[in-house]
Every structure is written in structure tokens, then in C-alpha cells.
Structure 1
Amino acid sequence: MTKFIIVTGGVLSSVGKGTVSASIGLLLKARGYNVTLVKVDPYLNVDAGTMNPYMHGEVFVTDDGAETDLDLGHYERFVGINMSKYNNITAGKVYFEVIRKEREGKYLGQTVQIIPHVTDEIKSMIRKAAEKANAEVAIVEIGGTVGDIESLPFLEAVRQLKIEEAEHNVVFVHVALVEYLRATEELKTKPLQHSVQELRRIGIQPDIIVARSVVPLDEETRKKIALFTNVRPENIFSNYDVSMTYEVPLILENQGVPSRILEKLQLKDSQPNLEDWKKFISDLKEGKREVTIALVGKYTKLKDSYISIKEAIYHAAAKLKLKPVLLWIESTDLESYPQELEKLKKVNGIIVLPGFGARGVEGKISAIRVARENNIPFLGICYGMQLAVVEFARNIMGLKGAHTTEVDPKTPYPVITLLDEQKKVVQVGGTMRLGLQKVIIKEGSLANKIYGSTVAYERHRHRYEVNPEYVDELQKNGMVISGISENGLVEMIELKDHKFFVGLQGHPEYRSRPLAPSPVFVSFLKASAGIE
């Protein structure tokens, strides 16, 4: 029988529920428990796939092709398990399913309402996710902030879950901000108190509180929180600022959070093995040799838009004991201020980031040209690879006006074009080429050296491809097609006479883990740092 840990958030969004949830998952897995994590998002989108990254950060893609919330990336990186479409529940999915059942007559004769029909569907989806993962413990993170109208049905559903499940099978963990006033050097608990009051008004009494703050909680503050929240002081824990989120599991472990949770769930506690995790953190902190990486994209003002790429760099840096210095460059700035391109000539490596649409495209193409002409290690991911083909076609093959039909449908040289199976697609949501795809690697290529194999698997998210009509011409002019799909699509490109010039149609960042970094990022950082 699955046990459930419900994680709620108070005071404001982005308070760290995802990191706390992922950390608890890591700590329970380190004790030998089979865990899974579920992210509940109260928005009405069916999935995150159609959302601008500025709205909700990165879209994280799973092996089975689900376009999900970025917190699933945290879960995979911390816990080291693969998520699936069942691990992200949205209000859109719930209402879509309820309405589908109503139209099919499944509720025949009933007035379909939030309670019980919507709340029953939510509970069903949570239980299904746990069942699919064969989980002993399912950690369910309720997105948003307590008090939001959107999250009320989900909070009501987990309130009911507590009643329906056996005694000691559901524990509520509330993560909320405790503000630190620097002027008076004191911690203010009133917002946290109000968030717990709101939870209790809904019918949920937290079992454990994790207070998010700049500095650790002192004993007086802990007692004050206990007094006003009906939670014993020993069940109140501090999640204070650290230099990297990967330290949070150790903070929670040192305070005894997992032990207290297991006690409340009446599960056996044991000594976790966290040595590999500690070594990863130590290696990342001890990196002394700096390597400057420019990340060129159109959403760089919100770093969460590319969080998996950023973390993949850190994973590789820890393995190589390097200190990465990330230089975020908005591709539109390279168009408006061409002098900004001079900055790129001074970096150790350039990554042209994924994205869609016309904005910032010419800036990305200019950055690719700088990397190619100045022998600066280059990594192009998805759109970054496609635009590397455009740049090559224009400046090496002399095809003036070459472009992707995504940006210029009337280009005389459509070197990037829509996938055949996409030409009849009408609905844009969930219809791209998505999920884990097999890549066949060319023997003797740099890609072969990177993966150490003639077969690789990466997750994908795209509608456009290298136009097959131009493949022979690209190769005649010196571009190496080093990876193809089983049906012949171009998956990887590289240039021979270059320090490191690699483009991938897939997204290697999605599968990178702290203890198992992506070989693509390891090889790229090696080249950028001049490591043989």
C-alpha cells in the first residue's frame, strides 16, 4: 500500500517546494524506499508545452514524450528516476477527463460538480501515478500558493485522500517563507502563520513545516511558529539559503526531516548512503579552474527557461572539477548591438540554446559564425543545431537567403523544413516529435567518441528537421552528418577541422544527472577547457 507525502506551499510561489520535494525523495530512496513524485499544476493548460518560458520556465520533456513542469527535472536530477506523463497532473488534464467522461455518459443522471467528480478525478490520477511507479512512497507537490482559487479543488482532494487512506498513510508537509528583515535582523513569521491558518480553514493541518528563510531559524522563532500553527517545535525545520540547491538534501537530513516523516508514516528508518552525493557537491565546489561559457538564447532574462542546460553544465563541471562561469547573452542584443559579438570571441565555449520562432534568430546565427570562424568550441541544441545548418549553408555553401521555413516560408533554400508527419497537424499542443528517440552514430565521428557507442538515445522536442534534399550538398561542403534517426532524419552534425563543433536535434540536458552527467556536456566542457 502506497504512503503519501503531500507538499504544499505558502506565502508566495517559487518558495522551494520542488527542491524540498525532490530532496525528500532522494533521502527516502537513499534509505531503500521505492519512491515516485507527482507535480500538481493548477493551471488550465493541459500541459506546459504551449506556454512561453517567461510564463512558467523551462518545458521539461520525459522519455514518454510528456511536456511537463520544470519541477519534474528537479525530481529526475535529485532522485535519479525517470518521470512519465503520469507524474504531472494539471487542472487542464483533470477537467478534460471529467468533461470527456460526462460526454460519454459515465456520470449519467448526475449533476457533475467540483465535489465529488473533479476531486475524485484528482485522487484517481494521484493514485494511478503511484501505481504505475509501483511506489512505496509517493511525494505529491501541490503547485501554486495556499489561498489561490485555482488550487482549492486540489487541496480539497488531498484533504479527502487523508480521510480515505489508512491511518498513518498520509503526511502533510507545508513549505512557507519566513521573511528576514535586514534592518532589524529579525525573522518575521506572520505570513507563514496566515498560510497555515488558510490551510487549516480548508481542513488540512500540516504535520511538518519547512520554513524557507535567508538564515537558519533560531529556537525562539521555531517556538513562535509552533504556537500559532498547532505544529510541535520538533516538527518545524529550517531550509535556509545555501550556495547551491544540491545542498538542500543534506540540510534536511542533518535536521532529521526524513526520519520524522518516516516516523509519522510508521515506516522503518535506516542510515542513508549519501557519500556519492556529498562527493558531487564537493567536486563542484572545489573546481578552481574557470571556464567561461556563453549561452545564447532568446529567454535568457529568466534563467529557469534553460534550467536543465545550466544544471547539465554543472554536472559535467563537477566530473571535470572545473568552475563554470556562465555568460548569458540575449540573442536579440546581438542583432541590435553587433559590437556585442566581440564578447563571444573571448569566451571558452558557446552554446546556442533551443527555442522557437523568428525573434533573435539572426543573433543566434551570428554567434554560430563567431564560434565556427574563431575555432571556439560550439554546442547547438535543437534550434541551435538547425541554425548552425543555416549558417553553414549561407556562409560556406554560398546559398544566400538560406533559412528555416519556420521563419521564412518563402526562402529560396529551405535547408530546414517541417517534418513530413507535421504537415497535416492542426492542433499545436502535444503534437511535436517528442520523447526518447534512437540515434544511430557514425563510426569514427566525434559523436562516436562522445558517446563511446554507435547508438545513443536522447529526448526530443521539435517540428522541423534538416531538409533531406540538402544533406548530400552539406556533406560535400564539409559538414559531417554524424547521427541519424532510424528513418534517416539528421540527428547530429559536426565539423572536422574544428576544436569542437557539434549540433544535436535532441536535448541531452534532459537526461543529465549529478552522478551521471551527459557525455555531450562533458565533452563540450573538456574542449572548452582544453582538456585532452
Structure 2
Amino acid sequence: MSSKYIFITGGVLSSIGKGVTAAAVGRLLKARGFSVAIQKLDPYINVDPGMMSPYQHGEVFVLDDGSETDLDLGHYERFVDIRLSKVCNFTSGQVYAEVIQRERRGDFLGGTIQVVPHITNEIKRRVVLVGQETGADIVLVEVGGTVGDIEGLPFFEAIRQVRLDLGRENTAYMHVTWLPHIGATGELKTKPTQHSVRELRSIGIIPDVIVARADLPIGTDLQEKIALFCDVKASAVIPIVTTPILYEIPLSIEKTGVADLLLKLLDLEPKQQPDLQEWENLIEKIKQRKPVVKVALVGKYVELRDAYISVREALKHAAIANDVVVEIVWVQSSDLDKDDSLEILRQVDGIVVPGGFGSRGIDGMIRVANYARVNQVPYLGLSLGMQVMVIDFARDVLQLETANSSEFDPSTPAPVIDQMTDPHYLTEKSGTMRLGLYPCQLQTGTIAHQAYQKDRVEERHRNRFEVNNEYRPALEQAGLICSGISPDGKLVEIIEIKDHPFMLGTQFHPEFLSRPNRPHPLFDAFIRAVNQKAEIDQ
């Protein structure tokens, strides 16, 4: 069977939850026995999110194959419990670059290159490629931005044409809109939704399903009004009310019958009765009253919390498994360079220092690593968070006062963290960075090995600096444990501090592989240590 396609568009405003909607629908379709893939189309001109500021774009989510993608792919993977590939995210920049390159090669025989059909054909090729490469029964395609955006017009035209190419029985359109609440009258207003659908219809796309988002309950009268003015059945108007529990959304929209409606539009019968028992158990567990533990997340971009969305969710996943609620204390690392600035850490039970690039805020992170080591506070360092562990250890224990990373001080006489030079790691997946899935051999008798219960694992990376092997013998002799290394022994992947309840750093990003119903082993072990400290301190 060829893949069926569901296209998800957005209206009224951005960030209304198209990504979560796509992920939730994907979970429901998978529960009915279908294999699912999800794709995100990003209309911006950047080639990929890898070079974009976290303050503007949020987290860069990395896939197994090393692709740097939109953070929505994290939602897709976490909700549906799938592993996506590079075909599942592309940008206008990639599309235009490909078409221009082909024109320069002479592939178009000197013809005039236009948005229609050349750009739209390339978009369609990439959309259809997902089904061909993944073999998924159903592909959900989320179009970034909102209807009416100038940069999004080629994408809307392309998905309009896909229905012509594949047939009505193989495609469905779902439009997600926002119902604003007017405080003065106490009403939810449907007019913006009507305008949004009219705009969509004007470019040739007639939505089959309308998802109405709001902060307050949406009555049947409003559903019927939207149905009347937007030319869909009332049963095809799906209300989604803002919930404090993100993972409850699949269960809430399951009650609306949206999954069966979409299958009917795609001329499909469920392969099995929907199996959502595990998900229901998860939500029931989340809702139970539990003790609270506090974890400081010390980062460079905490003003935009989406910059650490996978770290935040991985902490929540581990908290659910350990029957606690994690309260994240967001700490800007550049504010921690004063003598009394670490006082905020005295109120927390654990510390996470996530990844990042550049020298801003590094001194604060190094001070945090020192505080956690000296005061026996559970600490989890992710990529950069591991590197500042090494710098602190070298300065304080080895007495190398000039120890640093060559990223922050290229002329440092003691580069305990240095840029990779081994061509094996530089050319396979990216020019200057190690990106994607790489193996790690675990050392027995370590916290890491105990957490994983395995001798060898594979984890996703996004880094260009590593522990300098020239300093490894001295660091290990002084009490730093290299508990995970690359199989060839050349790269340090995990470090631990000897005689510490839990102080562990990873060169990779374990947060990318955490799932709500299956927390990552290292986050699970970390929260367990955090909970133990909280119980002792009570």
C-alpha cells in the first residue's frame, strides 16, 4: 500500500500547537495498528536550524542520522515513539538551494526557473519521499507558520497539488486555528477562524477537519457555528482546550473521534482496536499527588525555555517513573559570576547543565560544577555541562589554574577540552561537528553502567569539542572516571566523579531519546539520586 498523507496547516497565529496536534494524531493512528511518519516543512530561508539562535528558534533537535531539525520533531518522536530521519524536515532554503544547483548544472536546459512549477515540484518530491523511504502507512505533514504568510505560499500550493497527484482518497487536510477569549464579554470568538479558513480556501485548499484551540472549554454551539461558516461537518470540528498535562492531549482528542474520522477520509479501516492503555496509565500516574523535588537548570538561553525543551521533558519523564514531581528552577549562567550568586543553588536538590556554544556564561557554569562537586549535590552535565565539569576538575583538583576549553580560550596553555582532529569523526556526518548516533562502550562498576544495564549503547551527538586525551591519565588518576568511551578508545563519552552520589557528564545528548513512558536511563538515575538527597534533607 502506498502511503496516505494528512496535511496539517495553521491559522490565526503561530505556536498554537500544530506540532503537538500532529504528534497526538500520530499516536492515535499508531494505536490503531498503522505505521506512522511525520514531516515538518519550515518556510524560512535558513538551510537548517543548526546555525539559528536558540533565542529565536528554540532547541535544535538532532536525529540518528545527524540531521539538525526543528524542535517539533522532538514532539513527534516522544509522542509516537518513533525514530525519524532527515527526510522528515526541510526548509525553503534547502528547496531553493537544490533547485538553483540543478539550474546551474543545466538540468533545466536553459528554461526559466519559477516558483510554480519548479519550487513546488521540489517540495512535492520531498513530501512524497517520506512515504517512499519510510514505508509508513500514513504520513502526517505539518506546514510551519500560518496561512497567509508570504514565505509559506509555495508550500501551500505544493500540498494543494499533492491531492491532485495522489487522489482525494489518499490525502486529508487538517487546519489548526485559535479561538481568542474576549475578557470584556467573556466570549470565545470564531471570527479569526472563519477568516483563516477563507484564506486557506482562497488558495485552493478546503480543510476536511478543523482543530479549534482555546484556553477555555469550547461548547457545541461554537463547533456548530464553525462548521456552518467553514463548510465542514460539526463532527469534523475538533476542540482542544489548553491542558497543564501536555501528554493528555492524545486521550482528550481520542474522545472526539478524530482518528476514525481521518481514517474514513483516507478510505482506511483500523487494523486493530485502539490500544491506549499504556498511555492512560501514564496520565493516571502523572495526576497522582507526589512529593516535589527541585532541579536547577543552569543554561545560557533560559529566557526562551523552548531552547531546552527536550531536557525539560526528559526530566519530567524521569520524575514520572520515580513517583515525584520535578520543579525546574531556571538559572541564567551568566548571572552566576558573583560571590553570592550561588545562593540560589542551596534551595535545589539537583543541578542540570545542558549544552550550548560560545563563551558567554561559562564562568558561571564552571562555578556551578565546582559547587555540585564540593557539596555532593547530584549533577547531570550534557555536552557543554560535561566539559565544564572537566575544566573545574582540572583547575581545582589538578591545580591547572589555566585549564580551559580551546573554544573559550584558543591560546590556553592547558586545553583540557579541545577541538576534534580525527578525520574519521569529522567527515562521516558533518564537516566540523560530530552529529547523530555514535556508539559508546560502558565501563563496568560505574554509575553509567548501572543505569543502562548494558555494556554498549548508542547516543545522539552535537558537538565539536572533546576531552583532550593528553590530560586523560592525570584526570583519571586524580579521581575522574571515564565511564563511557568510544569503542576505539579515542573519545571520552561519559565521565563521573569518584566518591560522589551522582556527578555525571555526557558528551552526547541523552535527552533526545527520552520518552514519557520510557525515560532515558541517565535521567532516571539522576532523578533517583535527586530524590534521595531531597529525602535526606527533609
Instruction: Classify the TM-score, shorter chain.
Output: over 0.9
**CA offset at residue 340 of structure 1?**
2.8
Q: What residue identity is the alignment partner of 2:287?
A: K
Deviations 1:25-67 (A, max 9, x none): 0000000001100000001111111011111110000001000
Structure 1 counterpart of 2:416: 415
**CA offset at residue 224 of structure 1?**
1.9
Q: Alignment partner of 2:347: what SS?
A: coil
Q: Alignment partner of 1:410: what SS?
A: coil
Structure 1 counterpart of 2:131: 130
Structure 1 counterpart of 2:198: 197
**CA offset at residue 89 of structure 1?**
1.5
Q: Does 1:38 align with 2:29?
A: no
Q: Does 1:140 align with 2:146?
A: no
Structure 2 counterpart of 1:300: 302
Q: How far apart, in 2, do the equivalents of 1:358 and 1:53 lie?
A: 15
Q: Alignment partner of 1:277: what SS?
A: helix
- After TM superposition, list the pairs within 5 Å mapping 1:255-274 onto structure 2: 255-269=256-270, 270-274=272-276
Change in CA separation of 1:222 and 1:297 when aligned onto 2, cut-off 3 Å: same
Q: Alignment partner of 2:142: what SS?
A: strand
Is the 8 Å Cα contact of residues 214 and 240 (structure 2) preserved in structure 1?
A: yes
Deviations 1:150-202 (A, max 9, x none): 10000000000111112311110000101012332110111111111110111
**CA offset at residue 234 of structure 1?**
1.7
Q: Alignment partner of 2:336: what SS?
A: helix
Q: Alignment partner of 1:11: what SS?
A: coil
Q: How far apart, in 2, do the equivalents of 1:478 and 1:169 lie?
A: 61
4+ residue runs of structure 1 moved beyond 2 angstroms? 337-340, 421-426, 428-431
Q: Alignment partner of 1:131: what SS?
A: helix
Q: Alignment partner of 2:393: what SS?
A: helix
Change in CA separation of 1:69 and 1:519 when aligned onto 2, cut-off 3 Å: same
Q: Alignment partner of 1:216: what SS?
A: coil
Q: How far apart, in 2, do the equivalents of 1:460 and 1:321 lie?
A: 29
Q: How far apart, in 2, do the equivalents of 1:61 and 1:259 lie?
A: 32
Q: Alignment partner of 2:199: what SS?
A: helix
Is the 8 Å Cα contact of residues 420 and 426 (structure 2) preserved in structure 1?
A: no
Is the 8 Å Cα contact of residues 345 and 374 (structure 1) preserved in structure 2?
A: no
**CA offset at residue 429 of structure 1?**
8.0
Q: What residue identity is the alignment partner of 2:384?
A: Y
- After TM superposition, list the pairs within 5 Å mapping 1:143-154 onto structure 2: 143-154=144-155
**CA offset at residue 415 of structure 1?**
0.4
Structure 1 counterpart of 2:77: 76
Q: Which moved more, 1:268-277 or 1:393-402?
A: 268-277
- After TM superposition, list the pairs within 5 Å mapping 1:224-373 onto structure 2: 224-269=225-270, 270-335=272-337, 337-373=338-374
Deviations 1:236-294 (A, max 9, x none): 11011111211111111011111111111111035311010111122222251111111
Structure 1 counterpart of 2:180: 179
Structure 2 counterpart of 1:514: 516
Structure 1 counterpart of 2:478: 477
Structure 1 counterpart of 2:503: 501
Q: How far apart, in 1, do the equivalents of 2:197 and 2:330 lie?
A: 39
Is the 8 Å Cα contact of residues 171 and 207 (structure 1) preserved in structure 2?
A: yes
Q: How far apart, in 1, do the equivalents of 2:251 and 2:237 lie?
A: 16
Q: Which moved more, 1:376-385 or 1:485-494?
A: 485-494
Q: How far apart, in 2, do the equivalents of 1:329 and 1:349 lie?
A: 13
Structure 2 counterpart of 1:434: 435
Structure 1 counterpart of 2:207: 206
Deviations 1:467-497 (A, max 9, x none): 1100001011111111111231011110121
Q: Alignment partner of 2:151: what SS?
A: coil
Structure 1 counterpart of 2:102: 101
Is the 8 Å Cα contact of residues 422 and 432 (structure 1) preserved in structure 2?
A: no
- After TM superposition, list the pairs within 5 Å mapping 1:150-169 onto structure 2: 150-169=151-170
Is the 8 Å Cα contact of residues 426 and 434 (structure 2) preserved in structure 1?
A: no
Q: What residue identity is the alignment partner of 1:510?
A: F
Q: How far apart, in 2, do the equivalents of 1:340 and 1:12 lie?
A: 39
**CA offset at residue 17 of structure 1?**
0.1
TM score, norm. by length of structure 2:
0.96
Q: What residue identity is the alignment partner of 2:165?
A: E
Q: What residue identity is the alignment partner of 2:17?
A: G
Q: Alignment partner of 2:113: what SS?
A: coil
Q: What residue identity is the alignment partner of 1:66?
A: S
Q: What residue identity is the alignment partner of 1:262?
A: L
Q: Which moved more, 1:100-109 or 1:290-299?
A: 100-109
Name stretches of at least 5 consecutive residues in structure 1 with no aligned partner.
none
Is the 8 Å Cα contact of residues 284 and 317 (structure 1) preserved in structure 2?
A: no
**CA offset at residue 410 of structure 1?**
1.0
Q: Alignment partner of 1:502: what SS?
A: strand
**CA offset at residue 424 of structure 1?**
12
Structure 1 counterpart of 2:392: 391
Q: Alignment partner of 1:138: what SS?
A: strand
Q: How far apart, in 2, do the equivalents of 1:34 and 1:272 lie?
A: 13
**CA offset at residue 227 of structure 1?**
2.4
Is the 8 Å Cα contact of residues 4 and 138 (structure 1) preserved in structure 2?
A: yes
Q: How far apart, in 2, do the equivalents of 1:288 and 1:425 lie?
A: 46
Is the 8 Å Cα contact of residues 284 and 314 (structure 1) preserved in structure 2?
A: no
Structure 2 counterpart of 1:113: 114
Change in CA separation of 1:457 and 1:423 when aligned onto 2, cut-off 3 Å: closer
Q: What residue identity is the alignment partner of 1:174?
A: H
Is the 8 Å Cα contact of residues 426 and 433 (structure 2) preserved in structure 1?
A: no
Is the 8 Å Cα contact of residues 49 and 430 (structure 1) preserved in structure 2?
A: no
**CA offset at residue 301 of structure 1?**
0.9
**CA offset at residue 339 of structure 1?**
2.2
Structure 1 counterpart of 2:18: 17
Change in CA separation of 1:73 and 1:424 when aligned onto 2, cut-off 3 Å: closer
Is the 8 Å Cα contact of residues 50 and 429 (structure 1) preserved in structure 2?
A: no
Q: What residue identity is the alignment partner of 1:530?
A: Q
Q: How far apart, in 1, do the equivalents of 2:179 and 2:265 lie?
A: 25
**CA offset at residue 388 of structure 1?**
0.4
Q: How far apart, in 2, do the equivalents of 1:253 and 1:129 lie?
A: 26
**CA offset at residue 338 of structure 1?**
3.8
Is the 8 Å Cα contact of residues 15 and 212 (structure 1) preserved in structure 2?
A: yes
Name stretches of at least 5 consecutive residues in structure 2 with no aligned partner.
none
Q: What residue identity is the alignment partner of 1:288?
A: K
**CA offset at residue 401 of structure 1?**
1.8
Q: Alignment partner of 2:366: what SS?
A: helix
**CA offset at residue 422 of structure 1?**
7.5
Q: How far apart, in 1, do the equivalents of 2:498 and 2:110 lie?
A: 69
TM score, norm. by length of structure 1:
0.97
How many corresponding residue pairs?
A: 530
Is the 8 Å Cα contact of residues 425 and 434 (structure 2) preserved in structure 1?
A: no
Deviations 1:285-341 (A, max 9, x none): 225111111100010111110000111111111111111111010101112x44230
Q: What residue identity is the alignment partner of 1:3?
A: K
Q: How far apart, in 2, do the equivalents of 1:424 and 1:288 lie?
A: 44
**CA offset at residue 446 of structure 1?**
1.5
Q: What residue identity is the alignment partner of 1:300?
A: V
Is the 8 Å Cα contact of residues 298 and 359 (structure 1) preserved in structure 2?
A: yes
